[in-house]
Structure formats: structure tokens, C-alpha cells
Amino acid sequence: MLTAPAPTKIVVVGGGIAGLSAAHRAVEVARERGIALDLTLLEARDRLGGTISSERVDGFLVEAGPDSFLSEKPWALALCRRLGVEDGLLRTDDRFRKVFVWHRGRLHALPDGFQLLAPTALLPFLTSSLFSLPGKLRMALDLVLPRGSGDDESLGAFVRRRLGAEALERVAQPLVAGIYTADPDDLSLMATMPRFVELERRERSIILGLRRAVRQAPLPGTSGARLSLFVTFADGMERLVTTLAGRLPAGAVELKQRASGLERVGDRWRVVTAEGGRFDADRVVVATEAYAAARLFRYLDPALTTLLEEIPYASAATVSLGYRRGDVPHALDGFGFVVPRREGKALLAGTFSSVKYPHRAPLGHVLIRGFLGGALDAAILAEDDAALVARAGGDLRAALGITGEPVLTRLHRWPASMPQYRVGHLARVETIERALAALSGVRLAGAAYRGVGIADCVRSGEVAAEQLLA
């Protein structure tokens, strides 16, 4: 009598977007190739999604973590298409593409055409109140400066070298703090914005290179980091999590199972959990934060553990405040603002959430979200919840002239949640991947390695699953 081959057992550790994407892709690939699959996803907490969490409160739609994902990087969007939920996606309202920068007590619009680090449109840049005349002249020096060495350098060093200290302090530092919660003098340019390394290599001048790129693919009224390319779900980012979870085999998800070790058992693997669980597997995807992954490898490969521990993390908090529209005199004619470190404020950034996307606040109200903490201001997160909310509210009052008290207040803390890609990060990741290759049947996925955005995390999970089922 013929017996069916034993199914391939895959255990995914970590139920954030990377782990969920890995699990879902494993199901897809198994189905495509007719592989019998036995899947388990272990999540330490009592909920899936990791840093993705949305909640409806009193008619407001609050995003506790990410509020959108980049559609320019195709992987998350492609996943939404395959899941059949593309129709539920919203684009930002392009009428409000503007981003403001807090400078000397008031909000200045980032000049039209400013592309993250450098200007591409002359007139808005020259007439901008955000930069001093010497600052503008220094930025213009980029047009004639020679190329750098092309080695990995910090974003801070790169911007100072090409565009000057003012461009760094007033734009690059706060924009980057809002995305990577990082110190620009530690952040690897190669690992986070390779496009600028490539621009300098190819075109020498960043301004000329960006202008050429914009001419080839024009974006109306471009300001900031091509923000209109960010999309979200009408009912919040958590939709992606619930949809993915709903496509996994029944019983695959095990919540409140914190993996504490990974062992070799013959030619298979065993994941043990702090709760006493034992999960045997042919293949394992570890999709946790790098420091949590490090612990799993400590007896198998201590050097790999050290490499993983060397990826530092920053903490952050979001404070979502709902106001009556009449209490906010500012036109809120943008997606929000960023705050340079030099301004000495608690907020790193503020997002006009109900302007950026519709239906985030009830009629006659607005929802504004402040971002606190990060690598440059870790100390603030030691303050209690009431103090953080008061700090965020105070800064918003000063920035926007708010007269009334918030009608909604939500604080979410994200301790050790943001991996920091320091200079040399990509070389470290390559070493990690080489070490991992010796442990056949195990892959890493998640924000710690090759991109922190949701689209990158989706890709890392999907690639891990594809490699393990190849």
C-alpha cells in the first residue's frame, strides 16, 4: 500500500508582518507546487501584527504604529493584489502633499520639489523661508563638488559633505528621524538610501541627478519623500494583518508562545518556547526582532548571536490626539511636519492623520499624531504616559495654535522596535547570511536586515519562505 509522503513542516517564529508574509507565502508556494505543508506560526504576544495595530475609538481611526506603506516598492502592493484586498487601499490626498518643518517657533513649508535631501526646483527653493542665504549657497555647491569615495558613510556625513550643515539640520535630520528614528551620524546611507549613493556615483551632483530623475518621472508638486506614494487601508493597516492571518490554515497560529531556543534534532529542527512548547520542523523562519533572534542561536552559533545582537534598536511612542476642527486654527494644508532636533522639542514629527487619509476622524474633528523618542531622544520615553501626552499636546499647541483640549487621547509605546542601520550594516547582514547558510533549513526575516518598511518586511518574509521551499 502506498503511503502519502510526510508533509513538510515549517515553523515561523514571530507574527509581525514579516512572519505573516513568510507563512502566507509558504502556503502559496506549497499550493503552487503540490507540496503537503504543515505550518505553525509562533507569536510571543496575545495578538498578531507586531508593530502594526489599528483601533477605532469614538469615531476616530487610530494607527498605533505604521499608518501606511510605500507603493513604490512593489512587494506589499503585490501581496494586497494577491490577497484580493487592493480595492480597500487608499492613496494620500495629493492636494495636501506639503510637509512642514518646524523652524524657530513656526512651521515652514518644505519647498516644492525638495526630494528628501536636496532641492530639484529652483524658484521654490530660492524663495523658501526655511533656509538662510548662506545655507542656500552652500547647498548649491553640490553642483560643482567632486564625487566622494563611494564607501559606506553616514547619512549625516554625506549631507554635510554635499549640501552643508544647514540642509542636514533643517531637513535631512528631522525627515530621517521621522522614518528611521535614527541619529543621522550613525545611519548607513548605503543601507537606507542607496539611491543617493548611486546618484552621486552616476551623476556626481545630487541636485542635478535628482532633477534629471524628476524630469524622467515627474511628480506634480513633489515635496518630501514622494509621500503620495504611500497607501493605507480604508479601515486601517491592521486589515493586512487580519487578511493574512485569515489565509493561514486553521490552527496554524499559536499565540503566547515565546520561542526561547532552537535545537538540532537529527536532520530536523526543534523550536522550544518559554511556555514549555516543543515544535519540531523541517524548516524554520525566524522573523522576530534581531535581538530576539540572537537568543535562539546562542547554543547553535554564538558568533551569529553576537552579530545579531550588534544590530541596535531604538524605541518610539505615538500620541494620537483628536481635536474639534474649530480649536485648530492652522489650515492643516499638508500631511504634517517634522521637527529638527535643534529646536529642542519633544516631538520628532506630527502627522495630520485625518488630512492625509479620509475617514480618520468624525465630522468636525481632526486627528493629529505625534511621534516621540527615537535614537536621539531615548530618555523621554522614561517619562510616564500622562507626561508624554502632555508634551505632545504642548508641542502641537505651539505648532498649530490649538486652543481647545483634545477630545481623544491615545498613547502607544513601541520599546526596542526600530532597528538602526548603522554604517557597515549591509556588510554585517552579509556576514549573518553567510553564517546562516551553514544552518540549512533556517532563514531570517524582518525589519532588522534589508529594509525597515512594511514593503521590505513583506519581501523578506516571502523570500525566506520561497528559499526554504525551493
Ligand X SMILES: Cc1cc2nc3c(=O)[nH]c(=O)nc-3n(C[C@H](O)[C@H](O)[C@H](O)COP(=O)(O)OP(=O)(O)OC[C@H]3O[C@@H](n4cnc5c(N)ncnc54)[C@H](O)[C@@H]3O)c2cc1C
Antiparallel, parallel or unpaired: β 230-233 and 69-70: antiparallel
- State the minimum distance, in angstroms, from the CB of residue 267 to ligand X: 23
User: Site for ligand X (CB under 6 A): which residue of 10, 11, 13, 304?
Assistant: 13
Position among 120, 188, 288, 353 found at the interface with ligand X (CB under 6 A):
288
If one asks whether residue 112 binds ligand X (CB under 6 A), the answer comes out as no
Q: How far apart are CA 342 and CA 20, in angstroms?
A: 39
Q: Which residues ranging from 351 to 390 are in contact with ligand X (CB under 6 A)? A: none
Q: Is 259 in the site for ligand X (CB under 6 A)?
A: yes
14 binds ligand X (CB under 6 A): yes
In contact, 269 and 11? CB cutoff 8 Å: yes
Among 10, 11, 12, 18, contact with ligand X (rule: CB under 6 A): 18
Provide, rounded to whole angstroms, the least separation between the CB of residue 439 and ligand X: 17
Residues in contact with 123: Cβ distance below 8 Å, sequence separation at least 6, in sequence order: none
DSSP assignments along 243-284, one per residue: HHHHTSPTT-EE-S--EEEEEEETTEEEEEETTS-EEEESEE
Query: Nearest approach, Cβ of 247 to ligand X (angstroms)?
Result: 17
Question: What is the smallest separation between the CB atom of 406 and ligand X, expressed in angstroms?
Answer: 19
The one among 328, 367, 457, 469 contacting ligand X by CB under 6 A: 457
Choosing from 31, 33, 45, 434, the residue that interacts with ligand X (CB under 6 A) is: 45
Phi/psi of residue 72, each to 5°?
-65, -35
d(CA 130, CA 128): 5
* Contact status: 418 vs ligand X (CB under 6 A): yes
Nearer to ligand X, 60 or 131 (CB): 60
Nearer to ligand X by Cβ, of 277 and 394: the residue is 277
CB of 81 to ligand X, least distance (A): 17
In whole angstroms, how close is the CB of 30 to ligand X at the nearest point?
Answer: 21
Whose Cβ is closer to ligand X: residue 207's or residue 240's? 240
Binding status of residue 17 toward ligand X by CB under 6 A? yes
Query: In this structure, what C-alpha cell is assigned to residue 392?
Result: 505632545
227 or 469: CB nearest ligand X: 227
417 binds ligand X (CB under 6 A): yes
The answer to the question of residue 42 lying near ligand X (CB under 6 A) is yes
**DSSP string for residues in 400-416:** H---S--SEEEEEEEEE
Q: Which is nearer to ligand X, 43 or 186 (CB)?
A: 43
Site residues for ligand X, 53-92, by CB under 6 A, read 65-70
Told to check if 287 binds ligand X by CB under 6 A, we report yes
3-state secondary structure of 144: coil
Sequence-distant (≥ 6) Cβ neighbours of residue 267 within 8 angstroms = none
Burial of 298 (0-12, 13-18, 19+ CB in 10 A): middle
By the rule CB under 6 A, 51 interacts with ligand X: yes
The reply on whether position 454 binds ligand X by CB under 6 A is yes
Phi, psi of 233 (to 5 degrees): -95, 145
Distances (CA, A) of 262 to 14, 242, 291, 307, 413: 14, 28, 14, 17, 29
Question: Could you tell me if residue 361 is left (phi over 0), alpha (psi between -120 and 50 degrees) or otherwise beta?
Answer: beta
Helices (H), 332-415: 353-356, 385-400
Residue 446 makes contact with ligand X by CB under 6 A: yes
Question: By CB under 6 A, is residue 253 in contact with ligand X?
Answer: no
Please select the residue that binds ligand X; options are 30, 39, 44, 304, rule is CB under 6 A: 44
d(CA 142, CA 211): 13
Stretch touching ligand X by CB under 6 A, among 4-12, 109-117, 286-294, 352-360: 286-294
CB closer to ligand X out of 163 and 376: 376
The count of chain residues that interact with ligand X, using the rule CB under 6 A, is 37
Q: What are phi and psi of 40, to 5 degrees?
A: -135, 135
Helix (H, G, I), strand (E, B) or coil at 202: helix
Q: Where are the beta strands (DSSP E) in 333-465?
A: 336-338, 347-351, 365-373, 408-419, 442-444
Say whether 425 sits in a helix, a strand or coil: helix
Figure out which of the listed residues 30, 37, 39, 52 binds ligand X, where binding follows CB under 6 A: 52
Nearest to 73 by CA among 470, 467, 458: 458
Least separation, in Å, of the C-beta of 92 and ligand X? 11
285 binds ligand X (CB under 6 A): no
180 in Cβ contact with 191 (< 8 Å): no
**Residues between 305 and 344 with contacts to ligand X, criterion CB under 6 A:** 316, 318
Residue (170 or 459) nearer to ligand X, CB? 459
The site for ligand X (CB under 6 A) is made up of: 13-19, 42-45, 50-52, 65-70, 258-259, 287-289, 292, 316, 318, 414, 417-418, 446-447, 452-454, 457
